[in-house]
Amino acid sequence: MTSWWLAEEAPPLPSSSFEGRSEVAIVGGGVTGCSCALALAEAGVRVRLHEAREIAGGASGRNGGFALRGAAPGYDEAREQLGVERAQALWRLTERALDRIEELAGDAFRREGSLRLAADVEERGALEAEFDALRADGFAVEWIDELEPPLEGRYFGAIHHPPDGALQPARWVRRLAALAAEAGADIRERSQVHSLDALEGDQIVVATDGYGGSLVPELDGTLWPTRGQVIVTAPLPERIYARPHYGRGGYDYWHQTPDRRLVLGGRRDRAPDLEYSDEEQTTPLIQDELDRFAAELAGASVTIERRWAGIFGMTKDRYPLVGPLPGDDRVWLSTGYSGHGNVMGFACGRLVAESLLGRPDPILEPFDPARALG
Ligand SMILES: Cc1cc2nc3c(=O)[nH]c(=O)nc-3n(C[C@H](O)[C@H](O)[C@H](O)COP(=O)(O)OP(=O)(O)OC[C@H]3O[C@@H](n4cnc5c(N)ncnc54)[C@H](O)[C@@H]3O)c2cc1C
């Protein structure tokens, strides 16, 4: 089943198709591909984007709608793994990307902050470490020691991240695609690419995250397709959750739409082996978990109006793979955000465009696919 987000009617894309050769061909019409197409088209490049389904038909229109700064690992981990300067630069980059999303997305984005919750003493320790690191490096962040009902007694402390927000992700990415088309990008929906060799273009950008399948065989065993499942309820009587909430290392996440629907997902850890899958379908086990959790969060039984699944790409170190495919400089990858691609994908799509325009940003160096594929 398609997602609640994608079920909203899509306005027609402005027509901007051109005949003949493109300079850059992009595979994938999610947030990464559309962001890359917009940046290239604005720079006057003849760019053609191929999307097998519809714009945002992959993870970009099926996700939880959390727009968070940073990468999949926490900030304190990133400082250790990437070094303080690079971690700081990366977090700042994603904060600027959030500012840009706010400028472009209109009513598809609500900048409400987010709450990262501690489900036990161990997670509270991890959150305190991340909070200390963020504060030490001058980022806006608040510690919440005691949560109010109905979260009191269930969670034991939280970080409030003020720059974050919530998206209607399909509406947002459709807008991004429309901006790219208005700037001159040739956006082709229902245009499946069967082989990169068949594509025209001096450069090719593969922006397929968890959906690439066998398009780049080198990624087999390096980029793991991972399934996420989500539900949305009928409107609740009250808006209990004013901003996105996530806890248990991101295995539980939810927020409430302005019309008071609870959007809730996660619980992948209940069946980890089964959820490393590229099958875009819900399963009774995870859905039962989500149903129970929705009722607990609402404090009453709830009506589920839609259920769906989506696939994202996971990497071993949970940082994305962004850069040229080793041994083939014609092909660039921007993929593998490990479940954290709404803001990172937007930022990386633009950074890939900048690299192709001869303006590489050193911030991409740690994401070089050669670290995993070389
Ligand atoms: C259930 C779920 C919840 C998530 N929640 C969040 C969240 O709350 N916050 C967050 O930041 N991230 C979240 N993510 C991750 C986030 O959605 C992704 O990282 C992000 O959308 C990736 O965008 P993308 O453009 O790179 O890839 P996608 O949006 O997946 O787009 C790839 C596109 O490539 C197309 N494609 C694939 N193969 C071909 C081909 N051969 N030819 C043509 N087209 C092709 C696909 O149809 C697809 O539309 C979630 C993901 C899922 C699945």
Which residue intervals of the chain bear CATH 3.30.9.10? 224-314
Give the tens place of pLDDT for each residue, 6-33: 999 999 999 888 999 999 999 999 999 9
For residue 338, the ligand 1 atom closest to its alpha carbon is 19
Element (H, E) at 332: strand 328-335
Distance of CA 44 to the CA centre of its chain: 27
Which protein residue has the closest C-alpha to ligand 1 atom 22? Answer: 341
The answer to whether 292 touches 262, Cβ cutoff 8 Å, is no
Is the shortest distance between the CB of 209 and ligand 1 below 6 Å? yes
- 140 Cα to the center of ligand 1, angstroms: 28
- 312 Cα to the center of ligand 1, angstroms: 6
Task: Using alpha carbons, select from 105, 124, 115, 123 the residue that is nearest to residue 142.
Answer: 115
Percent of the chain having pLDDT more than 70? 100
Strand partners, 159: 116, 143
| SS3 state of residue 372 | helix
Task: Using alpha carbons, select from 27, 36, 130, 31 the residue that is nearest to residue 80.
Answer: 130
**Quick check: 171 pLDDT over 80?**
yes
Give the tens place of pLDDT for each residue, 99-116: 999 999 999 999 999 999
Q: How far apart are CA 101 and CA 121, in angstroms?
A: 35
**Quick check: 321 pLDDT over 80?**
yes
Q: Name the CATH topology of 224-314.
A: D-Amino Acid Oxidase; Chain A, domain 2 (3.30.9)
Is 21-109+165-215+319-374 assigned to CATH 3.30.1240.10?
no
Mean pLDDT of the chain: 96
For residue 341, the ligand 1 atom closest to its alpha carbon is 19
Give the tens place of pLDDT for each residue, 182-199: 999 999 999 999 999 999
